[in-house]
Amino acid sequence: MKLDQMKILITGGASGMGRHFSLSLAQAGAHVAACDLDAEGLSSLADEAAGLPGAIDTFEGDVANEESVISFMDAAWDRLGGLNGLINNAGIFRDGLLVKKDRETGAVRGMSLKHWNQVIGVDLTGPFLCTREFAARIIENDGGPAVVVNISSIARHGNAGQSNYSAAKAGLVADTVTWGKELARYGVRTGAIAPGFVDTPILQGMRPEVLEKMLKAVPLRRPATPDEIFEGVKFVIECDYFTGGCIDIDGGMRI
């Protein structure tokens, strides 16, 4: 499929990589449905997209809430006249060690169930709900071609302090394979992108010495640009013989 043929829903579309994906696709002529909880971010995104070859329509919604997903998927489908693409990009962090002993008191504390469930809810249950609802509508309307792109992470291989996030991102890659097998008969392809460190506001907000230490683990010694991650998204969308796979864009961290 070509980018200018896409009617594509992007979760977490108001900020970070999601915002970059939304604007890049609209620049290429796609019609984008950007979904996010951040109403202000969605408003500024719509303003920024004015005059681009494509278009961006915005929708408020919570990917971890089943009723909300059904509602914004219906609204996007109706407003765009159908959909043929989905990018499961929305994600959150609630980092912490599984267990940690306080150096002063000796007390042992663990990651809270609340923080575990929050990350699993947004980062894994969210893509499940969105892909289920997206695929159901595709099938009800006689099948694809259509494509689902899941944004995973290099943390899927396991990363200290991220039990919840690593589990969610590993599960998302497993689901990419599973859904690729299940949905191919309906003309729906899947693909995952697993970024390493990306130059987004989260990374930019880190203390320079912390960032420098992190980048020492990257053979290329720098973070990715959002556009470099978008190149992977673009490949999954445009390569009609790609499905069920994950592309690491991590500067060589897994070498």
Q: Is residue 221 one of the residues assigned to a domain?
A: yes
In contact, 14 and 38? CB cutoff 8 Å = yes
Given a cut of 80, is residue 206 above it in pLDDT? Answer: no
pLDDT tens for residues 106-155?
899 999 999 999 999 999 999 999 999 999 999 999 988 999 999 999 99
Query: Which among 91, 72, 69 is positioned nearest to 21, based on CA atoms?
Result: 91
* Segments forming the whole domain that contains residue 109: 3-248
Q: Is residue 162 one of the residues assigned to a domain?
A: yes
Q: Is residue 157 one of the residues assigned to a domain?
A: yes
DSSP 8-state assignment for residue 162? B
Beta partners for residue 189, in sequence order? 147
User: What's the pLDDT at 255?
Assistant: 65
Q: What is the rounded average pLDDT of the residues 225-230?
A: 95
Given a cut of 80, is residue 91 above it in pLDDT? Answer: yes
- What is the percent of the chain with per-residue pLDDT over 90, rounded to a whole number? 82
Counting every residue written for the chain, the total comes to 255
Query: Which among 172, 157, 149 is positioned nearest to 18, based on CA atoms?
Result: 149
Q: Is residue 42 one of the residues assigned to a domain?
A: yes
Q: Is residue 48 one of the residues assigned to a domain?
A: yes
- How many folded domains does the chain comprise? 1
User: What's the pLDDT at 222?
Assistant: 87
Query: Is 241 an active-site residue?
Result: no
Q: DSSP alpha helices (H): ranges in the chain?
A: 16-27, 39-49, 66-80, 113-120, 126-140, 163-183, 201-204, 208-215, 226-238
DSSP 8-state assignment for residue 225? P
Which CATH number characterizes residue 42's domain? 3.40.50.720
- Long-range contacts of range 75-83, CB-CB < 8 Å, 24 or more positions apart? 76/9, 76/33, 76/35, 77/137, 79/33, 80/7, 80/31, 80/33, 81/7, 82/7, 82/137, 82/141, 83/7, 83/8, 83/9, 83/33, 83/134, 83/137, 83/138, 83/146
Position 216 confidence tier, pLDDT thresholds 50, 70, 90: confident
**Catalytic entry in 59, 77, 165, 230:** 165
Beta partners for residue 128, in sequence order? none
Question: How confident is the prediction for the chain on average, in pLDDT?
Answer: 94
Q: Is residue 225 one of the residues assigned to a domain?
A: yes
Taking the alpha carbons of 160, 244, 198, 112 in that order, is the dihedral positive or negative?
negative
Q: Is residue 255 one of the residues assigned to a domain?
A: no
Q: Is residue 153 one of the residues assigned to a domain?
A: yes
Longest alpha-carbon distance in the chain = 63
pLDDT tens for residues 56-72?
999 999 999 999 999 99
Given a cut of 90, is residue 200 above it in pLDDT? Answer: no
- Tell me which amino acid residue 32 is: V
User: How far is Cα 77 from Cα 80, in angstroms, rounded to an integer?
Assistant: 6
